[in-house]
Amino acid sequence: MAETAEEKRQRLIGLAKQAVSKAYSTGEHSIAQAINAYNEIEKTRNLLHERVEEWYGIYFPELTLGSAEKYTRFVLSAGSNKKQASEEKLREIFGEGSKEMLTWIRQSIGAEPEESEFKALSAIANAELELLRTEKEIDAYLKDNVPKLMPNVSYLVDYKLAAELLSKAGSLNKLAVMPSGTLQLLGAEKALFRHLRSGSKPPKYGVLFKLKEVTEADRRSRGRIARLFATKLSIAARADAISRRFIGKQLRESIDENLKRIREKEKSMPPAREQHAAGRGYGGRQRQFSRRFRGNRG
């Protein structure tokens, strides 16, 4: 019996559905979405926290804590009268430090917010904590799923960095066929094109700047270390996308060996000059800028 037009339509729709499902079944798309959302949420949470500290700061200027979460939880439990914050609650938030906190509260020169004002402030504080919870959920998702998709890449670098590389490249296949020099500069597109356009110094790394191996190194070795990682990550991505064999261990060993060599080389270098040491802690791009301006002035 020949297929009717309607049957054909249904069959084709079925095929299309399968194709759509298959295209997204690798989870690459969701990992890219997740890491981008994570970065956006982290940024906003920090903004909201600054807002909370700036706002509540006028009511309790003495309170300076290293932990944003503890600060915000305290604000919420203090309510519109910090002296009413229960000892139990304080112990829950600050642990050992709760006694000291009681003293701070008693001696504070800050006034108290009005009910309606505290309501607005606490809405922001609650939003901040909600974003923190969201971050943790996304983080758990990435931790579970990135190593499944990219066992080799995520063996060499943190799973969040692996996800970022994937998202910046567009897909695992694109990451795999990418020259390692391109991989090295993923995330540094702006600096790269500025370099091509205006002849400023070329960037040494993009998202790879998040590697502690890079940040902790002498600044003159950073480019070298980023290049080393890019080379090995490129091989790892190929293994993840194409051969699907686990070669992470060998790659990691090779990285460690090379790092050792680079560090030995560092020892024979003259000490870093003062003006460079002062630039430490900034990204390479910012430093380039200041160097250019210095050049213009001199």
Name the residues that contact a second copy, by CB under 8 A. 13, 16-17, 20-21, 24-25, 27, 29-30, 33-34, 36-37, 40-41, 44, 47-48, 51, 54-55, 58, 109-111, 113-114, 116-117, 119-121, 123-124, 126-127, 130-131, 133-134, 137-138, 141-142, 144-145
Work out how close the CB of 241 gets to a second copy at its nearest, in angstroms, rounded to a whole number. Answer: 20
CB 133, min distance to a second copy, A: 7
Nearer to a second copy by Cβ, of 7 and 144: the residue is: 144
Query: Considering beta carbons, is residue 58 or 269 the nearer one to a second copy?
Result: 58
Say how many Å lie between the first and final Cα of the chain, rounded.
Answer: 87
Nearer to a second copy, 110 or 223 (CB): 110
Smallest distance from the beta carbon of 25 to a second copy, in angstroms?
7
Alpha-carbon distance of 225 to 215, in angstroms, equals 10
Q: For Cα atoms 254, 180, 226, give the angle at the middle one, nearest 5 degrees.
A: 60
Residue 272 CA, chain-centre distance (Å), reads 29
User: Least distance (Å) from a second copy to the CB of residue 217?
Assistant: 34
Compare residues 27 and 223 and give the one whose CB is closer to a second copy.
27
| Alpha-carbon gap, residue 10 to 18, rounded angstroms | 12
Asked if 186 and 168 touch (Cβ cutoff 8 Å), the reply is yes
Contact 98, 90 (CB under 8 A): yes
Min dist CB 215 to a second copy, Å, is: 27
C-beta of 119 vs 261, nearer to a second copy: 119
Name the minimum Å distance from CB 174 to a second copy: 18
Distance between CA atoms of residues 102 and 187, nearest Å: 46
Phi, then psi, of 237 in degrees rounded to 5: -65, -40
Q: Which is nearer to a second copy, 57 or 202 (CB)?
A: 57
CB of 197 to a second copy, least distance (A): 17
Q: Which is nearer to a second copy, 30 or 200 (CB)?
A: 30
